[in-house]
């Protein structure tokens, strides 16, 4: 009995952003495992069992998926965006490493998806068009001091930045502190982009300067992007374009 486990990225929301590779994997699956709203994106059909679970149970969910694959099922674990970016792939491999040795020999495949920061960047231009970093602002699984340290070093490196999980009901205050640190470290008016529910009917995008940014502009469905010190805003009728040039002047001397 030879089962399989696929960890698939559904992209940010629109069907038109799901890769054919992922669509084919969903069509072959016997079982879909994932967080409730992501499993809800998979159409029910005969022979397919949907296993939806709540947030913050990623390891239990991973073990369940691995057990089913070990029992011969064809399991797809679904993530929003890309499964390797602050999503289910790392959780599944944590479960593999700490689980029964036989789990290591399962056929496991990760299928990439369009991650939220790239979908959001595309909607406003090319704000991540030069070197950049991606930081998860949730301190559920790491010390807050490490987030602060990374923000300061990312500003010093002059990376454009993408922030996942900026704010939740359980963590209403952290993002206010993030904005304080970024304003202090960047000390300019570079553009910040709040992109909510990108590619869905509820999509809402707001572009402000960093000093104008307010904590309540973000929630858990928002991805936040910040330009680097050279990021440009092209004004025009309608929404402006934000892009980060490919070049840094050759006489720009790092300190």
Cβ neighbours of residue 100 closer than 8 Å, sequence gap 6 or more: 70
For position 142 contacting a second copy by CB under 8 A, the verdict is: yes
Query: Measured from the CB atom, is 142 or 214 closer to a second copy?
Result: 142
* Distance (Å, whole) CA 232 – CA 243: 5
For position 185 contacting a second copy by CB under 8 A, the verdict is: no
* Distance (Å, whole) CA 35 – CA 136: 18
In contact, 212 and 182? CB cutoff 8 Å: no
For position 146 contacting a second copy by CB under 8 A, the verdict is: yes
User: Which residue, 61, 113, 77, is CA-closest to 4?
Assistant: 77
- Rounded least distance, CB 52 to a second copy, Å: 21
For position 173 contacting a second copy by CB under 8 A, the verdict is: no
* Distance (Å, whole) CA 251 – CA 160: 20
Footprint of a second copy on residues 193-222 (CB under 8 A)? none
Among 82, 165, 178, 193, interactor with a second copy by CB under 8 A: 82
List the x/- string, 3-42, binding to a second copy by CB under 8 A: --------x--xxxxxxxx--x------------------
Candidates 48-56, 189-197, 208-216, 232-240: pick the segment binding a second copy (CB under 8 A). Answer: 232-240
- Rounded least distance, CB 7 to a second copy, Å: 8
Query: Measured from the CB atom, is 83 or 194 closer to a second copy?
Result: 83
- Rounded least distance, CB 68 to a second copy, Å: 19
For position 61 contacting a second copy by CB under 8 A, the verdict is: no
Among 115, 165, 178, 218, interactor with a second copy by CB under 8 A: 115
E-state strands within the chain:
4-9, 31-35, 49-53, 74-79, 107-111, 125-126, 132-136, 160-164, 191-196, 204-209, 222-226, 232-234, 241-243
For position 104 contacting a second copy by CB under 8 A, the verdict is: yes
Among 85, 178, 182, 223, interactor with a second copy by CB under 8 A: 85
Tokens of 3: 């089962």
User: Which residue, 187, 158, 163, is CA-closest to 174?
Assistant: 163
């Amino acid at each position: 009995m030879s089962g399989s486990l696929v960890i698939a990225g559904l992209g940010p929301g629109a069907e038109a952003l799901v890769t054919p590779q992922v669509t084919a994997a969903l069509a072959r699956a016997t079982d879909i495992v994932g967080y409730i709203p992501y499993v809800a994106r998979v159409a029910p059909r005969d022979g397919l069992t949907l296993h939806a679970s709540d947030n913050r149970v990623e390891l239990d969910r991973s073990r369940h998926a691995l057990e089913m694959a070990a029992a011969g099922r064809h399991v797809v674990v679904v993530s929003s965006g890309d499964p390797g970016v602050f999503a289910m792939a790392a959780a599944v491999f944590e479960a593999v490493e700490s689980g029964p040795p036989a789990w290591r020999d399962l056929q496991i495949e990760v299928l990439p998806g369009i991650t939220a920061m790239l979908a959001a960047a595309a909607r406003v231009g090319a704000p991540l068009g030069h070197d950049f970093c991606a930081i998860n602002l949730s301190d559920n699984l790491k010390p807050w001091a490490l987030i602060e340290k990374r923000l300061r070093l990312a500003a010093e490196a002059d990376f454009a930045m993408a922030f996942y999980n900026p704010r939740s009901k359980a963590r209403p205050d952290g993002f206010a502190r993030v904005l304080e640190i970024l304003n202090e470290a960047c000390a300019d008016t570079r553009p910040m982009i709040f992109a909510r529910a990108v590619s869905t009917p509820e999509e809402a995008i707001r572009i402000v300067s960093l000093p104008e940014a307010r904590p309540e502009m973000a929630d858990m469905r928002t991805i936040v992007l910040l330009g680097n010190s050279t990021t440009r805003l092209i004004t025009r009728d309608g929404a402006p374009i934000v892009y980060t040039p490919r070049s840094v002047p050759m006489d720009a001397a790092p300190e």
